[in-house]
Amino acid sequence: MNGRSKSSFLASAAIFIALEIAALAMLGSSSTIQNTWFNRMSHRTASFFWSGGQRVRSYFSLERQNGILAEENFELLQKVIEYESLLGEKAALGEVDWIVSDSLLKMVPARVIRATMDSQENHIVIDKGYEDGIEPDSGIITGRGVVGIISAVDRHRSYGLSFMNSNFILSARIGREGIIVPLQWKGTGTDRAVIREMSLHNVIEPGDTVWTSGFSDYFPADIPLGITEKTSLTFGATSEVEVRLFQDFSCLKYVTVVNYER
């Protein structure tokens, strides 16, 4: 291909790409069906590549993940033993009935394909969809806390709002019997949250555990979230409490999707 025909070919290609993009943009803005279809196709293509990249990253962090999973297994085993002994005691006393929960909790394990952390409105993509039993508006948790809420579901992919999103506010409780507070991501860091606009008469000690309150439509009560740290005064009128989360979002690999029906 000589120089002239090469430049002519490049010019034609550039014009084609520009006009095709313009036509696709017009198509996307003038038709909801095509727009939805484009978005679905682009998400499927993107999640295919994210999934591949995540597999590579997971391969190189297997040892660390195994350690985390082993710790979680141990904690769960301890809880199971504790509940079984509690159930035994209650059954002996004839008080079994109150242990039967009146809520239905459906759980689906999933793997994180993508969890963004670089903006103020982060989102999460997992490898399960409606064919795997995932429903929109389900909570995403791990053994270390709340991760997000499912917002959109594809066949084998689900997209969710991450806890690391400025629009995500979680109803939490300080201590087992303490006050109900709104917990949200601090805006920086991958394991930092904050309780804002606390009244000054509420004194929060550092080291208190923060739990889900149970007043949310997405998460059951008593999921541990983090530990309170320092309290600071805001504009002299309210206080702000920093919380160190148990879940570090920078190493989020395996999650559980909960469909919590009250």
Partner 1 sequence: MKDKHYFLLFVILIVIQMFLDSFLNLSHYLSISLLPAMIMCIPLRSGTSFTLLVAFVCGFAVDFFEGGVLGLTSVALLPVALLRGYIFRLCFDFETISRTEEISVRKMGLPRLLVSISMGLAIFLLIYIWIDGAGTRTFGFNLSRFFLSYVADILLATVTLYLFSAQADR
Q: How far is the CB of 157 from partner 1 (least distance, A)?
A: 15
| Distance in Å, CB of 102 to partner 1, minimum | 41
Could you give the dihedral angle defined by the CA atoms of residues 101, 103, 106 and 112, in that order, rounded to the nearest 10 degrees? -100
The CA R_g of the chain, rounded to the nearest whole Å, is 24
Site string for partner 1, 9-48 (x = CB under 8 A): --xxx-xx--xx-xxxxxxxxxx-xx-xx--xx-------
Tokens of 89: 């005691």
Single out the residue of 82, 81, 87, 135 nearest to residue 107, CA to CA: 135
CB 114 within 8 A of CB 50: yes
Which CB, 30 or 188, lies closer to partner 1?
30
Q: Which is nearer to partner 1, 15 or 87 (CB)?
A: 15
Decide whether 18 or 77 has the Cβ nearer to partner 1.
18
* Calpha distance 196→166 (Å, rounded): 13
Which tokens hold the place of 129?
A: 């969809």
Shortest reach from residue 166's CB to partner 1, in Å:
33
User: DSSP letter at 201?
Assistant: T
The answer to whether 262 touches 113, Cβ cutoff 8 Å, is: no
Contact track, partner 1, 105-134, x by CB under 8 A: ------------------------------
In this complex, which beta carbon is closest to partner 1, that of residue 33 or of residue 237?
33
Residue whose CB is less far from partner 1, 16 or 49: 16
Q: Count CB-CB contacts under 10 A for residue 214.
A: 17
Cβ of residue 133: shortest distance to partner 1, in angstroms?
23
Binding-site size, partner 1 (CB under 8 A): 24
Which residues of the shown chain bind partner 1 in the complex (CB under 8 A)? 8, 11-13, 15-16, 19-20, 22-31, 33-34, 36-37, 40-41
